[in-house]
Structure 1
C-alpha cells in the first residue's frame, strides 16, 4: 500500500491550505520557524517545462560517481511520496519522513502541501550534511516555493507552454517564471529554448551578471533513458557538473554514470511492449512521439491515457494521434483529473474507449505497443506493476 502525504498530515495533525498561492512569503516564514535549513549546503536549482527530473537524475549520478553525497528533491514524486526526496539516489524511508513530520506538527505558518514537502526536504538534507543538493522547481520558478535557495548554478532544460492558468499563456510570460531561478553572478545552463524564451533568459542573466552556458554539441553516449531528448538532458548535466566540480571532473566517470542512470516513467518499458511515459504537455508528447517512432518504427501503437485538468490536452492528443488510432481513456483517483469523457469526445481516432477502472486495463495485444501516458499521477496510481500485468495478460 502506498503511504501518501495525507497519512502523515493526519497522524501529526498538520493542516495545509488546499489553494495554490504563488509566492515566497509562506515558505520563508515556515523555514524561519525551523532555523532556515535551506541556507545549509550547495544547491543546484532546476526549472523548465520538461527535462528537469531526467537532468537532475543524470547530474546526481555524475556527482555521486565522483564520490560526493547528493540530495535530490523531485517534483512531482516519481512513484510515491518518499522518492520525491532522495539521498544518494535512494528515497527517504517512512521512518525518517515520520520523524520530520513529527517535528512539523508544531508548524505555525499556514502552508500548502507543496510548501510543506519543500520544508521537509530542506530539513532532511540539512540532517544528512550533503555535498550537493539538487532542487527541482514545482511550477514556474520565480514564485515557486523552492526559489528560497541561493543556488550555485541554475539549469533550464526547456521552456514551452504549460500551467497557463498560473504562468501565463505566452512563451515570454512562462520564460519569466523559469528565468526567476537565476541568481546573481551564478551561471545558468540552458537547453535548446525557443527564440522568445532564450531572449528573456539571456536578458535576465545579463541583468544579474550571470553566465549563460548553452552546449553547442550534444553527447552521443549510450543511455538507458530512451529518446534523443534525453541526450540533450545528459549534455546539460555534464556541463553543470564541469562547473560544479571543476578540476576534479573526470570525463570517464561522468560518461559511465550517464550511461547507467535510470528514472521511472521516462519511456520506461516495464514489461515487453508496455511503456510508461509521463508526457503531459505538447512538448512532452512531441518527444514521446519521436521516441516511439525511433524505437518501434513498425509496430501499431495503443495509447492508454489520463491527464490532469488545466493541461493542453487537445494538442497532446493531436500529437499522439500521429502515431496511433487506438486510444483508451482513464478516469483516475485525483480531484484534478480531467474527465475521460472529455478526452474521448476530443479524440479523433476510430478505435477508442473509456476505462471504467484504471486497475483493470484492456487485454494486451502482442501486435501493439501499449503506451500508458498523460500524467505522472496516473502512472503513480498504476505503480503496482504485478497487478497491472496480470490484468493485461489474463487472457
Structure 2
C-alpha cells in the first residue's frame, strides 16, 4: 500500500475498526514486535484516569521542558487538528510525517489483517495511531515521552510499554460499557498500567478505587505516592484568572504556585503533575529548582479546559464531557461565579450520562441552561426530549444560532459557559480562533 497525501493518510487511519469485541493486548503486542519494538527505545511516563489526563500531561510537559528536556506527548482527543495527538516539545507532528508513518505502519497492519483474519482481524484505528506514535518517538531522540491511555488501562493499546512511572489521575464513571459498572471495576482497568517495581502517582480517587490500586501495587511491589497522604495541596485566594495554591510532598514545599488553568480540579491536576515530576527528578538525581517549577506551571496552557475565549462578555469553553467532570464544573461555578448569571450552552454524546448531567446543571442558581446538538463523530444525546421534560432546560437544535442568540441577551457582567463533549468544544473553538 502507498498513501500519497495527508487526506489519504487520515482516510486510512479513520477507516479502521474502532473497537473489537474481545479486549486483548495480543494484537498490539504482535504489532510492535513486527515493527521492531519501537516502544522500548525511549523512556516513558504512562498516564491514565477518567478525567484530568490531558491537563496533567500539559503541566508535566512544561515542568520537564523547563529542565531543557526533549519531551514527546501522546494525547486524545484533539481540539483543533488531528496532528495535536502526537507532539514533541508542544509542536504537533507535520502532515508529511503522518503520511510517512502511515506508509511505514500501514503495510504491517495489512499483513496482520491477513494473519489474524480467522480471529478478529488486524489493528484498530487507535492501535494504528499508537504504533505510529511509537515509531515517530523512537527516531526522535526524546528524553522522555508522556503517553496518555485512550480508554481504561489494562487492555489499552498503549499498555505494551514498561514505563519509568505510572500515573492515575482520577477514577469515576465513564465508558462503563467497556470498563464495568462500578468504581472498583473501573479502577481495576486503570490499575492495569501498574508494572513490577514501577512507582505510581495517584490523584484524588474514591476509597473503593484506592483500595484496588493499593492491592495491585502491593502485588507488583510498586511504590505509591497518594494524594492527601504523600503529597498535599491547598487552594489559595486567587488574585487573577486561574488558580493559586500551595504544595507539600516528597520532601518539597512550595508556598505559592500559580496556573492560568482555572477550576479547583486544575489544582489537583497540577499537584499530580508536580508529584510526578518530583518522582522523576529523584529517580534522575535532578536538582529541584523552585523558580523553574513556578515558571512551568505559570505558562501551562491546555485548550478547551475552562478556557476564556472572549472577555466582554466573558465566554469560557470547558470540555466537561462526563458526570464526574460536571460535578467538578458545578463546584467551580459555585465558588468562582457567585452573584453572576451564567448561561450554559451544552452538547453531550449519547453514551455519557446526559440526563443526569443536564439535571445537575439545571439545579444551579443564577443559571440558564441551553441544551443543543452538533455534528459529533459518535451519536449525540437527544437533548430535545430531555428539555421537554424539564422546564429549567431550554433547547436549541443548532448551537451556532443558540450562541448568537445568547450573547445578544447577555449583559457585560454575565458569563457564557460552553461545555459538554470535547468534540463539541473543538467545533465551537474554531468559531473564536
CA distance in structure 2 between the aligned counterparts of 1:126 and 1:203, rounded to whole angstroms:
33
What does 1:358-373 align with in structure 2 at a 5 Å threshold? 358=400, 361-363=403-405, 364=407, 365-367=409-411, 368-373=414-419
What does 1:1-395 align with in structure 2 at a 5 Å threshold? 7-10=8-11, 15-21=15-21, 22-106=23-107, 107=109, 108-109=111-112, 110-214=122-226, 215-218=230-233, 219-220=245-246, 221-246=257-282, 247-248=285-286, 249-272=288-311, 273-323=314-364, 324-345=367-388, 348-350=390-392, 352-356=394-398, 358=400, 361-363=403-405, 364=407, 365-367=409-411, 368-386=414-432
1:187-223 per-position Cα deviation (integer Å, ceiling 9, x unaligned)? 1001121111111100100000001101431143111
Structure 2 residue matching 1:361: 3-state secondary structure: helix
Tell me how far 1:385 sits from its aligned partner: 2.7
1:110-147 per-position Cα deviation (integer Å, ceiling 9, x unaligned)? 22111111111111111211011011111101111111
CA distance in structure 2 between the aligned counterparts of 1:326 and 1:313, rounded to whole angstroms:
13
Kept in 1, the 8 Å contact 2:6–2:98? The answer is: no
Structure 2 portions without partners, runs of 5+: 113-121, 234-244, 247-256
Tell me how far 1:360 sits from its aligned partner: 6.6
Q: 1:13 to 1:57 in 2, by over 3 A?
A: closer
TM-score when scaled to structure 1?
A: 0.91
Structure 2 residue matching 1:382: 3-state secondary structure: helix
CA distance in structure 1 between the aligned counterparts of 2:391 and 2:404, rounded to whole angstroms:
17
Tell me how far 1:33 sits from its aligned partner: 2.2
Kept in 2, the 8 Å contact 1:331–1:339? The answer is: no
- Cα root mean square deviation, aligned: 2.1
CA distance in structure 1 between the aligned counterparts of 2:222 and 2:63, rounded to whole angstroms:
24
> Greater shift after overlay, 133-142 or 280-289?
280-289
1:16-35 per-position Cα deviation (integer Å, ceiling 9, x unaligned)? 12334532122222222221
Kept in 2, the 8 Å contact 1:14–1:105? The answer is: no
> Greater shift after overlay, 334-343 or 106-115?
334-343
CA distance in structure 1 between the aligned counterparts of 2:271 and 2:13, rounded to whole angstroms:
44
Greater strand share, structure number: 2
Structure 2 residue matching 1:384: 3-state secondary structure: helix
Structure 1 residue matching 2:231: 3-state secondary structure: coil
Q: 1:331 to 1:128 in 2, by over 3 A?
A: same
In structure 1, the residue matched to 2:240 is none
In structure 1, the residue matched to 2:236 is none
> Greater shift after overlay, 319-328 or 161-170?
319-328
CA distance in structure 1 between the aligned counterparts of 2:7 and 2:202, rounded to whole angstroms:
36
> Greater shift after overlay, 215-224 or 226-235?
215-224
TM-score when scaled to structure 2?
A: 0.83
Kept in 1, the 8 Å contact 2:169–2:203? The answer is: yes
Kept in 1, the 8 Å contact 2:350–2:379? The answer is: yes
CA distance in structure 1 between the aligned counterparts of 2:205 and 2:10, rounded to whole angstroms:
39
Q: 1:233 to 1:386 in 2, by over 3 A?
A: closer
Q: 1:152 to 1:132 in 2, by over 3 A?
A: same
- Runs of 4+ that moved beyond 6 A: none
